[in-house]
Amino acid sequence: MTTSNITTKLPATDANGPPGPHRSGSHRAVVGNRKTRRAIKKVIDARGAEPVLMPVDAVLDGLTAVDLSAVRRQMISKRATGVILFRCGQCNSPVQISSSPSSSTGDGRGAFFKHAYRTPDGCTWHTPENLRSTGAGQFNGNQEGEPHRRLKICLADSIRCDSDFSEPLVDKHFIRIGDGRRRPDVFTSYKGQPIAFELQLARLTLKTINNRTAAYRAAGIALVWVTSAHELSLLNNQAFRDLYLASGGRIFAVDAASCGRSEESSVLHLRELSLEPCVQHPFSIYNRWRSRMVNPEVILMPEGQRHAEGQRAYAAALADQLQAKAPGLTEKIASTVASGADFNLVAAEWSALAKLVGGRDLRQSIQDELPRVLRWLQAVERLNNATGQERAVAGEVVAACAAALVASRTGKHWTSLIEHVADAVPAVSATLSSELRTKMTRLKASPGKLHPFHAYHRHMISALHPWLSFWLLAKAPNGMASHQRLP
């Protein structure tokens, strides 16, 4: 994931449900949904300079929902070029990451590795095959169901309302790409630019999604994924997360209302669903789907721009709500962090903010060395905003703080956060030495449980550093009834 801008002015919070139980003394393992069974215990991780044998828990448990989708995408794209990022630690055969359908976490704690192909003879790390073929199987053996057909017609009718689009072709236009050919659900052009609309109601595999995207890109055709606004529970499936998390928590949908708007305005409109965090005591922070009608300017926006805008909108929504409900709290805590003063001086403010956002109490946060992490994140923000000679000095401070954090007694449990920030902020990546990166990898692979501390403290980190909030908090809302409708 790429974070475009860093600001210290927006306070944010969490949307991943109620806070977990407080921990005292030794840390309890957070393994996500306990129904998740990981038959493969270790994998060979080839993402770094050299392959490393890693415990599966150390690889997966630190992944946020955004990370999980990004790593899955990376694995698929690399495999297409002959590069295998993960192999089974017992038989050395390629593996893939799957998400447990029964998991409620939405992140890596509810995921597991399974062999990419048939489990080799002699390998005892066999994952039971509980995922059946999707797509046609969902429609009683037909390639598509009646809802799919109706939505394609609705989409085509909406496109016909806009004179800037050519006559839409529904299941009639074959596109030759290399030695093969593709037939988009709806094909048209916008001011001369060919556009392919693909409707996703089935749980398509990520490989299928990536292949289609790459094929259309190679042919110079813009691709727009569209789903239904009537079955929101489907959006909690990993196949849909892979689509909208890559677009900043945004996905397009077509329904009667969007078709009606297109007719009224003579401009194509689709319904855009976007993740929006909500702060509400005593429910902590939760996500909901925000709905709005959008025109071609948004529909045809490049994915990178959609992703960046989605992150900014998510952080801004958190900031606005938090400032309205708890004005001044984040600023006072941030001031204490910057001064290096005793956190007990803001114990009351910390408790009030933690109660609002579902964060851990001050005692537990100090035990987990969260103040040290917050000081490092402030240094990261200063580096990102620094110029000239100040930038070099700020970089040295970031590097020194990162090294001290890794060397601390909790360093192993904060490595995932450090790695993410380094990936998201190029200026930070340049400050981390190869020796420090090697040390972090060895820490993650070392004996003993790796606890994802950024997941434990995601609420308070997001409140004080909202540019991290989308990475930490974005996931589909829980408990969505299958019949729920949008207004």
Q: Considering its fold, how many domains does the chain have in total?
A: 2
Say which range, 117-121, 334-338, 358-362, has the weakest mean pLDDT.
Answer: 117-121
- Mean pLDDT over 423-450 rounds to 93
Q: Single out the residue in 85, 115, 145 at which a domain terminates.
A: 115
pLDDT single digits (tens) 171-183: 877 777 666 677 8
Question: Which of 93, 115, 137 is the C-terminal boundary of a domain?
Answer: 115
Residue 138 has pLDDT above 50, yes or no: no
- Angle at CA 44, nearest 5°, toward 41 and 45? 115
Closest by alpha carbon to 13, among 457, 368, 378? Answer: 457
- What is the distance between the alpha carbons of residues 175 and 161, in angstroms, rounded to a whole number? 24
| Model confidence at 222: pLDDT above 60 | yes
**pLDDT tens digits, 289-298:** 999 999 999 9
What's the pLDDT band for 131 if we cut at 50, 70, 90? very low
pLDDT digits (tens, 9 = 90+) for 98-114: 887 666 678 899 899 99
Average pLDDT over residues 253-271: 96
In a domain, 319, yes or no: no
- Check whether 121 has a pLDDT greater than 60: yes
In this prediction, residue 10 carries a pLDDT of: 29
Residue 33 within any structural domain of the chain:
no
Judge whether 31 lies within some domain: no
Q: Look at residue 393 and tell me if it is in a domain.
A: yes
Q: Let me know: does 413 contact 58? Beta carbons within 8 Å.
A: no
- Span of 122-131, 364-373, 405-414 with lowest mean pLDDT: 122-131
**Is the pLDDT confidence value at 137 over 90?**
no
Domain range for 67: 42-115
415 domain-assigned: yes
User: For all residues of the chain together, what is the average pLDDT?
Assistant: 85
What letter would DSSP give residue 477? P
Decide which of 66, 86, 115 is a domain's last residue.
Answer: 115
* pLDDT tens-digit series, residues 454-464: 999 999 999 99
Q: Let me know if residue 251 belongs to a domain.
A: no
pLDDT tens-place string over residues 67-102 = 999 999 999 999 988 999 999 999 999 999 988 766
Report yes or no on 30 lying in a domain. Answer: no
Round to whole Å and give the CA distance between 87 and 96. 8
Residue 408, domain member (yes or no): yes
Please, which residues have CB within 8 angstroms of residue 63's CB and are 6 or more apart in sequence? 71, 107, 108, 109, 111, 416
- What local confidence, expressed as pLDDT, does residue 57 receive? 93
| Confidence (pLDDT) at 486 | 52
